Structure 1
């Protein structure tokens, strides 16, 4: 933006400098021309008087003419008594001179000098006839030397150009300083806005620049602080509410169990099962909300550039292949009960290490498998593990019904479920938790349609070097 503003202001200043310089240069030419015109008109009148008063003394007239030509380096031509007297470099045979002579014989004088152009080499002729009331007795023609005047005008032009360039540079520098003074607070405000959008944390914004921008910076700081405080209160409210609800739910489950024991055979099995089912749903939801709040908090730590005392666990390399094998073994029995086969293809036996919180990586893998077993029962689930120099990619692919293209972008939305009827168990928070935990660990979750059907979930994490021998990872 600064470059565009400077470009516009520079163009306007250049136009202004060109206009002002043109006017000053024109005035310099006109002024020099006017001075030359006055002096040469006086000299022309003097020779007219000499020619009219010295008709018989041609020698003295020629002497005056030669003296003038030597002094000013200008040519003179005087016609009188059918004779022509010349001095200097004027050539009577020059067509331009002959034309002027013919005009003087018709009593047509010419004493005007064109505006001096220092870049031109044109000659200038002035002439004045003299005589009585009935006839033209003679004429004086002067070839004006414009070299001195042109040199003077050129010097003035150079001075005007230098002064104009200096003034223009000073104005451009001033415009640059003013533009920087005005735009720097805008850039800071833009950066603060981006930081607020990314970190959800208010950063201090210095009030600088014009009064209007200072007021805008103060208003933005106030708004950012209010928004940050509001978001923090919302997170705390969700987490605290979920945590506080666990005790009443646990107490309610205990009372249901006691009620079953007291009623014995009189208890309504269907009603008790319905109550227990709803209790399990509430417990699952509370647990998912707490994990989501924790994931959001971890993500806000990463984006804000802060770290808490998760310390060694965050920085220690985590073996991905071992974790996948453990999770597959843990879920093999429950998968068989639904007719699902869990397959693992690492491509090679080499272990890959990632920079990630181990507990959070276990959570992410567990959620991905839970999603496959929930929405693709009876279909095989294939797990692949690949790596590049920087990235380790975990690919978990089911062969279930999959999702429509328009629904793929909604998978990580909170409380969005592929089964809107709620017939299948779940809270709609699992994939949102995985996405936020992946981002909090510098990774990414990509959900896409599998080739030939089903859903493919790719978890990309930053690769880490293997730990040194003897380092304890527990």
Structure 2
């Protein structure tokens, strides 16, 4: 923007300089020519009374004195004699001999001829010549001064334009910087309104928008936290029911599930209320988390007659996903297998490193899954449609991605690419 303003001001300044200085330069040249012509004419006219009344010898002496002073003057007498500086009898001299004074232009300069009447033998002609060097004397220096003056004016205009551009660009740069900070979840970023009234108004509007975003985000977090907190009551009831079971194994199993659910609710409350997107990256061990969650689902797999093929690389495999989010992603993928395939359908879980990523693959021998199901809220089986989206967001948070495909022999295959964490 500064460069464009400078270019605009430079163009306008140059046009103004051309519009004013070029006519002024031409006027200076014309004035110099007129001054030189006027001096030559005055010298010739001063000689006219002598030429018109004195004898030839007096005229010759007077003309010689004028020639010695540096003025090229010639006098053509009616009898054909020529006095002073040698000069050709030009058409202007011939015309002046008929009684007409004039000024004629020549390639070498300007010729001034004056007809002098009063001599008994006829009309005499006084001729003086002004060369081009005398006509333009001082013009080059004046043009140089005008050029320097024009250049100075353009530079001053550029300096003023640059200062003006700074007053515009600096507030715009601050607005851009605060916008990027807000985009990076620095919701406390604010701009100090400055510059023209319009930019100050934009700065105030941006600050108001940032404040409003903070308010809405706080309200959303509190609502999620409140909703999660309400789940504690039915969880407590489930715990009491589990403790009242007669079979200790069933009681322990159900109590463990309730404990896991309670931990998930607690983590959700903590995440909703205190964690911000600007928090530092959290690293978790993918091997430990996947092993734990597969063990949890293996109990249900055994009850429903499902074979589980588990292939885990030697751990640990750190990933840039918090443990609770990774647990939720794995539960979502395994839960889809149980929810959308009939009992007895085998599934496989594979976890391997792949360069700077860790790849989790969950495949089953069911009917497959449509690619559009990864869209949040979309489901073809009457569920909430959030499972795959939870897994996708967990992968993207670590710099990875989610891929849906089909196994060569039939069935769905979900591949979760997660960025490797740095512990």
- Flag whether TM exceeds 0.5 (same fold): yes
Inter-CA distance 131–141: structure 2 relative to 1 (3 Å threshold) = closer
| 1:392 counterpart (357, 362, 365) | 357
Inter-CA distance 253–174: structure 2 relative to 1 (3 Å threshold) = same
| Distance in structure 2 (CA, Å) of the matches to 1:292 and 1:182 | 45
| Distance in structure 2 (CA, Å) of the matches to 1:101 and 1:386 | 109
Q: CA deviation at 1:350?
A: 8.7
Corresponding position of 2:12: 12
Q: CA deviation at 1:103?
A: 4.4
| Distance in structure 2 (CA, Å) of the matches to 1:431 and 1:108 | 109
Q: CA deviation at 1:401?
A: 3.0
SS at match of 1:208: coil
- CA RMSD, 1 decimal: 4.4
The answer to whether structure 1 residue 428 and structure 2 residue 395 are counterparts is: no
| 1:403 counterpart (361, 370, 378) | 370
Instruction: Give structure 1 stretches of 5+ with no counterpart.
Output: 115-121, 262-279, 468-474
| 1:83 counterpart (81, 84, 87) | 81
TM-score with structure 2 setting the length = 0.74
Q: CA deviation at 1:252?
A: 7.2
- 1:205-225 deviation per Cα after TM superposition (whole angstroms, max 9, x unaligned): 112113443344234323321
| Distance in structure 2 (CA, Å) of the matches to 1:15 and 1:46 | 46
Q: CA deviation at 1:63?
A: 0.7
Corresponding position of 1:174: 160
TM-score with structure 1 setting the length = 0.67
Corresponding position of 1:25: 25
Once the two structures are superposed, the pairs formed by residues 435-450 of structure 1 within 5 Å of their partners are 435-438=392-395, 440=397, 442-447=398-403
Q: CA deviation at 1:30?
A: 3.2
The answer to whether structure 1 residue 237 and structure 2 residue 223 are counterparts is: yes
Is the 1:235–1:293 Cα contact (8 Å) retained in structure 2? no
Is the 2:284–2:323 Cα contact (8 Å) retained in structure 1? yes
Corresponding position of 1:41: 41
Once the two structures are superposed, the pairs formed by residues 65-464 of structure 1 within 5 Å of their partners are 65-68=66-69, 71=70, 75-81=72-78, 82-85=80-83, 87=85, 92=88, 98-105=90-97, 109-111=101-103, 123-132=108-117, 137-147=123-133, 150-199=136-185, 201-243=187-229, 245-250=230-235, 291=268, 294=271, 298=275, 300-302=277-279, 314=282, 318-321=284-287, 323-324=289-290, 327-328=293-294, 331-332=297-298, 334=300, 337=304, 339=306, 342=309, 344=311, 352-371=317-336, 374-375=339-340, 378=345, 381=348, 383=350, 385-388=352-355, 391-396=356-361, 398=363, 401-404=368-371, 407=372, 411=374, 413=376, 416-419=377-380, 422=382, 424=383, 427-438=384-395, 440=397, 442-447=398-403, 454=412, 456-464=414-422
Q: How many residues align?
A: 398
